[in-house]
Structure 1
Amino acid sequence: MAEPRPPGDREATIWEHLEELAVRLRRIVIAFIVSAAVFSALPAGGHGGSLYVPLISRLPVIIFSHAVPSQIKAFDGKVYNVTIIPSHTFESIDIIMYSAMLLGAIGAAPVAAREIWAYVEPALYPHEKAFARKFVALFVAAFIFGVVFAIYIVAPLIITMMLKMYPFFVPPSYGLIITVNISDTVDFTLKLAVAFGLLFELPLVVYLLLAYGIIDPEMINKDTLKYILLGSMIVGAIISPDPSGLGMVLIGISLYLPMHIAITLGKKKGLERRALEEIKALASYA
């Protein structure tokens, strides 16, 4: 495996940058695979008399405990019992794969943060490199927060609203029972968790792009923040089918606030960095 080029005074060519990027992406993929295997096999306590239960089998339990209600009052005013059913014989394999992917993503997050930082580090000033440890910690924390937010807040909102509408689409002769497919529910919730984990990384990416001049800080103004707020509310409305609008506001604000903070701090840092570069450029001509 080729090692990334150590930082130096010579500016790297585009091919050297691409080669280094490929090496770092390969490391992230390897970390994902190893994390998925190791985390999946970790013991997560006994269950039903068994002394060893792997962590990978506990994720569906967590999902159904927090995202799927046992009873629900639908929009027709009746109370329905929610029953969990399998869809096919081999769906346990699907569930294992979905769970392993999420565990792999969580485990690989620190490696991904380290590799991303190492890739951009040569372009930074010495005093800016002190942010490295904070960046890695924030990167991991943001991803985990997004996963937890999706499983404990967003998924229950969406699934509950969907179940409330269920009686409108089935004949009354089916009785007061709503069936929930196991693999579909786990698939939906875990994909939502990964999506929100990545979504909560976006403020960190925006901060870096602004702070280090990749995006011109002068492009960001009050109108930009208004559009971002509007976009966050639209995403909240799409994700949450809550007719009261509470789910939209909750999700929209949760997406907007980190972005607002990242833009504000990133713009400030970017302007300070630009001023420092101008001072150094003037000093070099003096």
Structure 2
Amino acid sequence: MSTEQPAEETFISHLVELRDRLLKASIGVLIVTAVLMAWPGPTVLYDFLAQPMIDALPTGAKIIATGVTAPFLVPMKVTLMLGIILALPWVLYQAWAFVAPGLYTHEKRLVAPLVISSSLLFVAGVAFCYFFVFGRVFHFIATFAPSSIAVTPDIENYLDFVMSMCLAFGAAFEVPIVVVILVRMGIVSLAKLREWRPYVIVGAFVIAAIVTPPDVVSQFALAIPMWMLFELGLLVSPMFVRMTQAPAEKPES
């Protein structure tokens, strides 16, 4: 009985630590969201998010709201989504701080670069989707609308589409981080990943076909960056491995 008590106390302390980290991450998101609510405001943020679709619509057309509460709830959801994105470095820091006590000193050197690069890559993916992909996709789709159809997208459907696309591109831009972690943890060797390059390229196009609309523009816009970011991960992985090696470890030949 006495031998099990320390293990139980350790487990409980980990749960308490996890709760505290989740609470701190949530408070950070709420603070950023509250600031965005005050300035520039939900309506301004939604107008900015809707601009690529507005530019693709026929002259005078607008996005409509079919739900009674949609004009209020949708801008709020947009503000919360942006708050989560902007607070992502703080959220990732809390996640790394939770696992840091179980890491060696040389492994902790990887924490700051990964937190910073993960945040920047996710934001870069969302920005790439908004500034490069949305305008081309919406114009491409609008060209297929028959003249007998009035193109008036619903505000909620548009938000769902935008959120899914931003999440897909943000996650896809994390490919270098995944490669670095796989190599550093010894799960997959760098040589094996290079051998898998053709399968990775095919997989990128398959994933793009699943998560993007059925048009060539958006599929290529996601698949090609995933491939390029995979190659970037292969280039930077050896550097991260050298930075986080223990003194007794020897570099692979």
Q: Please tell me whether the aligned partners of residues 40 and 103 of structure 1 are also in contact (alpha carbons under 8 angstroms).
A: no
1:160 aligns with 2:132: no
Higher relative contact order (CA 8 A, sep 6+): 2
1:142-197: CA deviations, max 9, x gaps?
12112212222333344334333332xxxx6x46x422222321332134223432
1:179 aligns with 2:152: yes
* 1:34 positional shift: 2.5
Q: Distance in 1 between matches of 2:202 and 2:11?
A: 38
More strand by percentage: 1
Partner amino acid, structure 1, of 2:44: R
TM-score normalised by length of structure 2: 0.76
Partner of 1:250: 221
* 1:37 positional shift: 1.9
Q: Distance in 1 between matches of 2:157 and 2:239?
A: 45
Q: Please tell me whether the aligned partners of residues 65 and 155 of structure 2 are also in contact (alpha carbons under 8 angstroms).
A: yes
Partner amino acid, structure 2, of 1:64: A
Q: Please tell me whether the aligned partners of residues 236 and 252 of structure 1 are also in contact (alpha carbons under 8 angstroms).
A: yes
Give the alignment partner of residue 32 of structure 1, picking from 29, 33, 43: 29
1:221 aligns with 2:200: no
Q: Distance in 2 between matches of 1:202 and 1:18?
A: 30
Q: Distance in 1 between matches of 2:33 and 2:54?
A: 25
> Cα distance 1:90–1:224, how it changes in 2: closer, same or farther (>3 A)?
same
1:207 aligns with 2:180: yes
* 1:246 positional shift: 4.4
Partner amino acid, structure 2, of 1:41: A
Aligned Cα root-mean-square deviation (Å): 3.3
Structure 2 SS opposite 1:166:
coil
Q: Distance in 2 between matches of 1:269 and 1:140?
A: 17
Task: Name whichever of 198-207 and 85-94 sits farther off.
Answer: 198-207
Q: Distance in 1 between matches of 2:121 and 2:144?
A: 33
Partner amino acid, structure 1, of 2:219: M
Gaps of 5+ in 2: 1-8
* 1:99 positional shift: 0.9
1:62 aligns with 2:48: yes
Q: Please tell me whether the aligned partners of residues 70 and 83 of structure 1 are also in contact (alpha carbons under 8 angstroms).
A: no
Partner amino acid, structure 1, of 2:161: F
> Cα distance 1:199–1:17, how it changes in 2: closer, same or farther (>3 A)?
farther
* 1:110 positional shift: 1.6
Structure with larger Rg:
1
TM-score normalised by length of structure 1: 0.68
> Cα distance 1:95–1:246, how it changes in 2: closer, same or farther (>3 A)?
closer
Structure 1 SS opposite 2:145:
helix
> Cα distance 1:241–1:129, how it changes in 2: closer, same or farther (>3 A)?
same
Q: Please tell me whether the aligned partners of residues 147 and 197 of structure 1 are also in contact (alpha carbons under 8 angstroms).
A: yes
Q: Distance in 1 between matches of 2:99 and 2:238?
A: 18
* 1:57 positional shift: 1.6
Partner of 1:9: none
Partner of 1:143: 122
Partner of 1:237: 209
Partner of 2:94: 115
1:87 aligns with 2:66: yes
Gaps of 5+ in 1: 1-11, 45-53, 73-79, 280-286
Q: Distance in 2 between matches of 1:225 and 1:13?
A: 42
Task: Name whichever of 124-133 and 256-265 sits farther off.
Answer: 124-133
Taking every aligned residue pair, what percent have the same amino acid on both sides? 24
Give the alignment partner of residue 165 of structure 2, picking from 186, 192, 198: 192
The count of aligned residue pairs is: 241
Q: Please tell me whether the aligned partners of residues 206 and 263 of structure 1 are also in contact (alpha carbons under 8 angstroms).
A: yes
Q: Distance in 1 between matches of 2:163 and 2:202?
A: 26
* 1:136 positional shift: 3.0
Q: Distance in 2 between matches of 1:207 and 1:21?
A: 25
Partner of 1:260: 231
> Cα distance 1:151–1:92, how it changes in 2: closer, same or farther (>3 A)?
same
Structure 2 SS opposite 1:165:
coil
